[in-house]
Chains A and B, each alone.
Chain A
Amino acid sequence: MKLRRQSLLTEPPASATSDIAFILIIFFLVCASVQQEDGRPQEIPNSDKEQQAKNPIRVNLERDHVKLNGEVLAMKTFRDKVGKLLAQKVNEAEKTVSIRCSPTVPYQRWMDVTAWIEDAGGTIALMRKVQ
């Protein structure tokens, strides 16, 4: 007499697939939204406010050097000097620093310089050539 072996195959419950899929949805959505967006806020007034500042501090930013009110300075000296200049100013309008930037200056350098000015209490105003 032949004995039939009992089959051991068990199917996973079909109702569980929806739960798995929903967990996958949540996983992918969370992954998509976890992009680092930390940074620095920056206030750049529009052109009307730029004109309000009568004698702004002038900064010329070049690829290899920086000028503060026409004087060529090393980066470290610039940071100290601009801090001292801004500390002497009393009202907000006087703390406007107008930046004229050479077209080849990289973003990293621009961010460094503007961050120093803002940390010293200055307000950035962009000066660009009208094309």
Chain B
Amino acid sequence: MILQRRQMSADVPAMAMGDIAFLLLIFFIILARVTDDSHVKVNKADGTELQKPQSKRVGIAIDTNQVTYLNGVRINPDMISDALYKPDAPPGQRGLLGDQPPGQRTVLLKIDKDTPASMFEPVIEAVSRAGGELHHVLEEKMN
């Protein structure tokens, strides 16, 4: 007599998929919040003939309260140059711009339009010293 083996089924419960997906959703939202600076309040200056940035590796913002942020994290303006590029450090630890080739060293500058020069000039100088390519984020001027 042949005894038929009982078949074992191991289905993934479809009900759990929703929970997994929601956890992923929360994970990605938190992650996105950490790296971007959308929470920084800036009244953009206006300009004409605006262009899209070549790359979006690094973003520096100065908000309405004249607080400086690097990739959404508060930073002392004196530390920006080192955070962007440290030529003496070993490869892989040379800052956010590191050894990126020209064209990939874009630094987005989002500065509040009323920020005084005493605040934004050191930032621009630090980016220039680190070999960054400045891209001022502006709003199209309405005529």
Given contacts A25-B28, A39-B53, A105-B116, contact A32 B47 (CB under 8 A): no
Given B24, B56, B117, B133, which contacts A41 in the complex, CB threshold below 8 Å? B133
Q: How many A-B residue pairs have CB under 8 A?
A: 138
Q: How many residues from B make CB contacts under 8 Å with A?
A: 52
Q: Is the interface of A mostly helix, strand, loop or mixed?
A: mixed
Check B121–A25 contact: CB distance below 8 A. Answer: no
Give the Cβ gap from A41 to chain B, nearest Cβ, in Å. Answer: 5
Check A44–B38 contact: CB distance below 8 A. Answer: no
Chain B residues with CB below 8 A from A37, complex form:
52-53, 56, 108, 135, 137
Q: Is the interface of B mostly helix, strand, loop or mixed?
A: mixed
Q: Among the interface residues B15, B51, B124, which one has the most CB atoms of the partner chain A within 10 A?
A: B124
Given A20, A36, A46, A128, which contacts B121 in the complex, CB threshold below 8 Å? A128
Given A44, A45, A112, which contacts B124 in the complex, CB threshold below 8 Å? A44
Chain B residues with CB below 8 A from A17, complex form:
15, 17-18, 21
Asked whether any CB of chain B lies closer than 8 Å to the CB of A18, the reply is yes
Task: Return the CB mask of A49-89 against B: 1 if under 8 Å, else 0.
Answer: 00000000000010000000000000000000000000000
Given B15, B38, B124, B125, which contacts A35 in the complex, CB threshold below 8 Å? B38
CA distance A37 to B55 in the complex (A): 11
Q: Which residues from 14 to 47 on chain B have a C-beta closer than 8 Å to any C-beta of chain A? A: 14-15, 17-18, 20-22, 24-25, 28-29, 32, 36, 38, 45-47
Q: What would 4 more interface pairs be, CB under 8 Å, given A39-B51, A40-B135?
A: A25-B25, A102-B117, A106-B115, A128-B121
Pick 10 A–B contacts, CB within 8 A, sort by A.
A14-B15, A20-B18, A21-B22, A21-B25, A29-B32, A32-B32, A40-B136, A41-B135, A107-B45, A108-B114
Chain A interface residues toward B at CB < 8 A: 14-15, 17-18, 20-22, 24-25, 28-29, 32-33, 35-46, 61, 101-108, 110-112, 115, 126, 128
